[in-house]
Structure 1
């Protein structure tokens, strides 16, 4: 019997290398016809004992549906790592927005306190790549795609930062999305800790761990450019792990924010530009808008994932900002903005045209790129979108 490695992206390649090191029998497959060397499998599940699927492959996929009907276990690379013995201490982080910043900040704080730590999962390496490395802590970013396939992952600290509508192209319903997010706690016991946002529905949170809600503490206001809930959560972890408070505070103060996450860019055109391309949900964009000056210009747009933007658009209106919608969602955004009496320009069919329109009206103002959705209508991901934005505003 073989393991099927389904999807040969970053996690798929890490899984294949891991199985090769363990001398296990496996087959690889990718639906992408361009990946010819990964398309030789005949899709016969009779000899398959386990599937390790890439996060982007939804449960509605034909092969995975057949596997479910045959009771074949389906894991992600993180789930596969959970079968290994003697794993380090684990902090897992999920939520709709802010996961990557929280993971990066926790790793910095832990390392500053002499606790050798690394960022893994949806942000960082696959756990399978570092099983032989001597880390004291794994800090794992877990997407809703991965949370459905975590197998026996048992975090010492599980963190559920926030929730808003997202990824309904993968989950089909908001109910399934909520259920998946809550599964990171399912294997915890009474010695573990779960940290949750007080706004979350408790019926979706399972497990025996002790619980703490995210509340203000001495770390919450150390940075104005990082969300208060993120800093409050770091503070809870610092206290739970008995870390040195002064060392931790200095680490937070010195922390360099991530590229494409509310990244301020200096140009010579009299405009204050902010690259927040990593904001791929309405909640992430709402958070960015809250930090941006009244009267700014906001560029929103990208792939249409049928998300609810009402709260975000109302915040734009309340702060007397101007919206420039672009890309695949531009017409729907403009229509919704008009209903809410938001100051919105006509739709732009590309980010390039939106940037030019913002430039023409932006002297002396702040212009925020915070798309609020995915980038796949024009780009391969948020990073390429962010780099394109930087290039264009700097005269590229």
Structure 2
């Protein structure tokens, strides 16, 4: 908790409403400090406007420089870049500009697990939260996933697990964490950052004030710039947290101690082996009894529509990865995928002109039946000799229903958008799940 950060704050301007902005306003109102609160949102149609307290003035459609330059504190939504000219004028005037995570840091005195990265952070955050709860802790999970951080403060948890985006970290300087992890870095948000270095530097802020820093030994970009201590995780190297093999069995190993075999987790895909390793590393770093958490770590089925095991029927796993709307997501789901039997892979939809040839070498090494559907299903037909064309997911499921055997995996990881046949990727995943369950009934 930061010492008396509110001492000279009377006028607060919140920039950007929506879910985060509303959580900031409601938090300020709960503090009962008689702040003069104002909200600016540059959109004409402001999301959440109907839920904004009538006591709080709203300026919409543009910035209001008069409000901004007369504030004692400006709290920006993560979607507002610090490079925005109006925000730059505020900073040049010496007015502090912070985000909701900084406000959380000012008030919180409980342990925090902080998680960032380009990919996998939502899964790691959710999985860690469920494992901590299974270990007997009262845990609150949020930040860039689910519940805004300031809303979590209403729940007096034993520990907070926060997913943090680079946008949130830009405006955060006081967050103390028990352990922080930087999972990986890949090109993203280049419309916001001038370079990959800028993007990386924003993410590296997660290590400021962290008691324990965990980096990815397979991704040098995750290492802190400053000389500081850190622990490493890796799928391939001998590190603090690693995957090791003994008698042809792979184990998660925490600082030399084998914990469980990688085959015991429910989630599929090599990226989820890595995610699980990080979850175990985080639990280990905060001193949690991992034995109590193991049942949940093993049975965790994933976030909805993200490599989510929706059914395990007679040893046949059904995996909903409908959120894989591009090539990179499907590649991640397939890379290092292991199963005893055959993979029935459902791909197709709206390709947005993508070239899927990079999937061919991955599919070549898999025992796969490629099932292509939707508007651009033909774009996948040349990728594997097994490829078969269908009109719909429904048609595929009925065709494969009599062929599946124990050890097989049925995976919807389309590598395409869904709007040729569905309202969105969620509706696509829901239909796949319903069809899977209808076969089980």
Question: Please, what TM-score do these two structures have when normalized by structure 1?
Answer: 0.75
1:225 paired to 2:262? no
In the alignment, the residues of structure 1 paired with residue 190 and residue 151 of structure 2 have an alpha-carbon distance, to the nearest angstrom, of: 30
SS of aligned partner of 1:213: strand
Paired position in structure 2 for 1:20:
29
Paired position in structure 1 for 2:279:
234
Paired position in structure 2 for 1:33:
44
Following TM superposition, by how much is the alpha carbon of 1:240 offset from its aligned partner in structure 2, in angstroms? 2.6
Q: Decide which structure has greater helix share.
A: 1
In the alignment, the residues of structure 1 paired with residue 87 and residue 394 of structure 2 have an alpha-carbon distance, to the nearest angstrom, of: 44
In the alignment, the residues of structure 1 paired with residue 307 and residue 165 of structure 2 have an alpha-carbon distance, to the nearest angstrom, of: 21
Whether the 8 Å contact between 2:371 and 2:396 is mirrored in structure 1 is no
After superposition, the Cα gap between the structure-2 partners of 1:7 and 1:362, relative to the gap in structure 1 and judged at 3 Å, is farther
In the alignment, the residues of structure 2 paired with residue 381 and residue 6 of structure 1 have an alpha-carbon distance, to the nearest angstrom, of: 30
- What pairs with 1:185-204 in structure 2 (closer than 5 Å)? 185-188=207-210, 192-202=211-221
Q: Decide which structure has greater strand share.
A: 2
After superposition, the Cα gap between the structure-2 partners of 1:209 and 1:285, relative to the gap in structure 1 and judged at 3 Å, is farther
Paired position in structure 1 for 2:347:
299
Residues 211-264 of structure 1, C-alpha deviations (whole Å, 9 max, x = no match): 111122134623152522222222223333333242122332343433222234
1:155 paired to 2:201? no
SS of aligned partner of 1:296: strand
Paired position in structure 1 for 2:63:
43
Paired position in structure 2 for 1:287:
332
After superposition, the Cα gap between the structure-2 partners of 1:219 and 1:234, relative to the gap in structure 1 and judged at 3 Å, is farther
Paired position in structure 2 for 1:10:
19
Paired position in structure 2 for 1:342:
383
Report which of the two structures shows the higher radius of gyration computed on alpha carbons. Answer: 2
Paired position in structure 2 for 1:96:
118
SS of aligned partner of 2:106: coil
Following TM superposition, by how much is the alpha carbon of 1:124 offset from its aligned partner in structure 2, in angstroms? 2.7
Following TM superposition, by how much is the alpha carbon of 1:154 offset from its aligned partner in structure 2, in angstroms? 1.9
In the alignment, the residues of structure 1 paired with residue 385 and residue 325 of structure 2 have an alpha-carbon distance, to the nearest angstrom, of: 20
Residues 174-233 of structure 1, C-alpha deviations (whole Å, 9 max, x = no match): 333222222211233xxx111111122258624565311112213462315252222222
Following TM superposition, by how much is the alpha carbon of 1:353 offset from its aligned partner in structure 2, in angstroms? 6.6
After superposition, the Cα gap between the structure-2 partners of 1:255 and 1:3, relative to the gap in structure 1 and judged at 3 Å, is same
Residues 102-160 of structure 1, C-alpha deviations (whole Å, 9 max, x = no match): 22222222223332211111123222113243212101011222222223112110011
Question: Please, what TM-score do these two structures have when normalized by structure 2?
Answer: 0.69
Whether the 8 Å contact between 1:323 and 1:344 is mirrored in structure 2 is no
Which blocks of at least 5 consecutive residues in structure 1 are unaligned?
none
Paired position in structure 2 for 1:143:
165
- What pairs with 1:1-396 in structure 2 (closer than 5 Å)? 2-22=11-31, 23-35=34-46, 37=49, 38-40=58-60, 43-45=63-65, 46-59=69-82, 61=84, 63-68=86-91, 70=93, 72-84=95-107, 86-171=108-193, 173-188=195-210, 192-202=211-221, 205-206=224-225, 210-214=229-233, 215-216=242-243, 217=253, 218-219=258-259, 221=262, 222-225=264-267, 227-265=272-310, 274-279=319-324, 284-289=329-334, 290-291=336-337, 296-299=344-347, 314-319=361-366, 322=370, 334=379, 342-343=383-384, 355=393, 364=403, 368-370=411-413, 383=426, 386-387=429-430, 390=433
Q: Which has the higher contact order (CA 8 A, sep 6+)?
A: 1
After superposition, the Cα gap between the structure-2 partners of 1:75 and 1:247, relative to the gap in structure 1 and judged at 3 Å, is same
In the alignment, the residues of structure 2 paired with residue 142 and residue 380 of structure 1 have an alpha-carbon distance, to the nearest angstrom, of: 29
Residues 18-43 of structure 1, C-alpha deviations (whole Å, 9 max, x = no match): 11222322211323322285544762
Whether the 8 Å contact between 1:296 and 1:368 is mirrored in structure 2 is yes
In the alignment, the residues of structure 1 paired with residue 84 and residue 354 of structure 2 have an alpha-carbon distance, to the nearest angstrom, of: 22
57-66 or 154-163: bigger deviation: 57-66
Following TM superposition, by how much is the alpha carbon of 1:15 offset from its aligned partner in structure 2, in angstroms? 0.6
SS of aligned partner of 1:237: helix
After superposition, the Cα gap between the structure-2 partners of 1:262 and 1:165, relative to the gap in structure 1 and judged at 3 Å, is same
